[in-house]
Structure 1
């Protein structure tokens, strides 16, 4: 009787071990195929990660592209996504400071904490334009590091692509060569598309924008920003400020641009009183975009301006 019980226990133990081994063998390829689990704060960063990561990356975007990424809440869904992440991509320079640190704390994932290889802060990888929030009457929500809206500059996005490819390779050395090859192709496509679009725009365009979120258009298109609809960052256009813009710009030609989520009243006032066309444009591509979505966004920005 004792022999039978012992044999039964041994048999069950061997079966259990065999089942666990089989499960591990089945799951291992699936886990390897999943590669990097990447969470990006904006869809512009998400597009880069998808293009560079290819089949070796799964990407989740936190900020809806039709919302101002300054003003979000640290939702439980954000914390859940960050808890599972191997890598966090943020624009930085204060853009997400109102909600991302709280989401990181709630996630309790050391791999994506500040200073860890899994935390990629894009603003640290490039040179930023000076923010208008640093000067005189423009003082508002101050971006001391510089203007964080560099996703509107494909040339800086090309620099980011190369830095991101290197960092992804550090986290997954087996795919490092693939990541860098895709990053280099991505950077080339961004630069080439920027040059093509810039050549199609009539030179010396003047534009008024709502906030500093489109300032980086000056870096790659033949445009000059000659005014802002906000009298100060975060302050809605006032009647006095709008009349001042009309007085300053009367008799000139130009274009008014503002983000789709920003109120149109100020832009419409300038259109009526100056005759300048106004356009509401997206600031980021769709949430599920890869590089093609960002290239289409560049085209949208450029085609609001007079073409050759």
Structure 2
């Protein structure tokens, strides 16, 4: 009797409980965007880095190890972006499936061409290449089919679904990219805090007019801001920086030049394609509306 009741209970369970979704852990919301766009209904997604934090400076936490221990696939940016915390977290998770070199370890940087390869120095500079390609629709587009193939290898029964999802996302970006480049075609360029917009400006073919950091990872100094203001005096542009950086330097430079100062995150607020598209749209809007009043940072 008990066995019959147990079988009846199992039969009445929702289909989603009969087989667990593929457990995917992404290091950032941009990597989570790729996962959700391709994986769709077949994955259970966890993102390690909050979108309002600089992913360079996270610390390996027990909660990360717990998520990684249960993961079937980890999706990392790579190119040393997470070097200070992800290798430690993956090692301590003791999950053979997601160790480097295994199918369950996907480094996005290994599937796209990187800029600034071989350049080294202090702060955030990465000798293996600039890891901030998440704002470049060309490279994110290229990663969609690459991730689809990795998911298909790990989960063959849903391979066709992963490939179809990737094709749909690629087609969506193909429709949007010409519109974005057209909107920004006459923008004069911008000053940024750090080289995390390098790919964005390369894609839009716009000049980087300067960086608020005198050296990567070093906060703006009064001397550097003064020299930057002198070099840009009489020109046009916009100053854009992430909210986790201090607004003092951008506001000082913006006041001296009469340029708008805009705060924008470099990660979408959610790991979805819609949110990522909204982020790119906001960046294009900020760059192309340089002649309008900007918003001051606090």
TM normalised by structure 1 equals: 0.88
1:24/1:104 Cα in 2 relative to 1: closer, same or farther (>3 Å)? Answer: farther
- Say if 1:43 and 1:63, in contact at 8 Å, map to a contact too: yes
- Say if 2:122 and 2:217, in contact at 8 Å, map to a contact too: no
Residue 26 of structure 1 and its aligned partner are, at CA, apart by 7.0
- Name which of 28, 33, 37 aligns with 1:47: 33
- Name which of 44, 49, 56 aligns with 1:63: 49
- Name which of 274, 278, 283 aligns with 2:261: 278
Residues 1:112 and 2:98 aligned together:
yes
Residue 15 of structure 1 and its aligned partner are, at CA, apart by 5.9
Structure 2 residue aligned with 1:79: 65
The one-character-per-residue Cα deviations of 1:185-217 (angstroms, maximum 9, x if unpaired) are 112222322221111124252211100111111
Structure 1 residue aligned with 2:109: 123
- Name which of 169, 177, 182 aligns with 1:194: 177
Alignment of 1:171-210 (within 5 A): 171-210=154-193
Unaligned regions of 5+ residues in structure 1, if any?
1-13
Task: Report the secondary structure of 2:240's partner residue.
Answer: strand
Task: Report the secondary structure of 1:256's partner residue.
Answer: strand
Structure 1 residue aligned with 2:282: 300
1:21/1:155 Cα in 2 relative to 1: closer, same or farther (>3 Å)? Answer: same
- Say if 1:157 and 1:187, in contact at 8 Å, map to a contact too: no
- Say if 1:203 and 1:222, in contact at 8 Å, map to a contact too: no
TM normalised by structure 2 equals: 0.90
Structure 2 residue aligned with 1:147: 130
- Say if 1:38 and 1:57, in contact at 8 Å, map to a contact too: yes
Instruction: State how far apart, in whole Å, the 2-side matches of 1:34 and 1:274 are.
Output: 56
Instruction: State how far apart, in whole Å, the 2-side matches of 1:26 and 1:107 are.
Output: 35
Residues 1:134 and 2:119 aligned together:
yes
Structure 2 residue aligned with 1:94: 80
Unaligned regions of 5+ residues in structure 2, if any?
292-298
Structure 1 residue aligned with 2:273: 291
Task: Point out the structure with max Rg over C-alpha.
Answer: 1
Q: Which moved more, 1:198-207 or 1:245-254?
A: 198-207
Residue 41 of structure 1 and its aligned partner are, at CA, apart by 0.2
Residue 27 of structure 1 and its aligned partner are, at CA, apart by 7.4
Instruction: State how far apart, in whole Å, the 1-side matches of 2:245 and 2:69 are.
Output: 32
1:31/1:121 Cα in 2 relative to 1: closer, same or farther (>3 Å)? Answer: farther
Residues 1:233 and 2:216 aligned together:
yes
Residue 139 of structure 1 and its aligned partner are, at CA, apart by 3.8
Residues 1:158 and 2:141 aligned together:
yes
The alignment's C-alpha RMSD in Å is 2.2
Residue 35 of structure 1 and its aligned partner are, at CA, apart by 2.5
- Say if 1:43 and 1:64, in contact at 8 Å, map to a contact too: yes
- Say if 1:111 and 1:119, in contact at 8 Å, map to a contact too: yes
Residue 78 of structure 1 and its aligned partner are, at CA, apart by 0.7
- Aligned pairs, number: 290
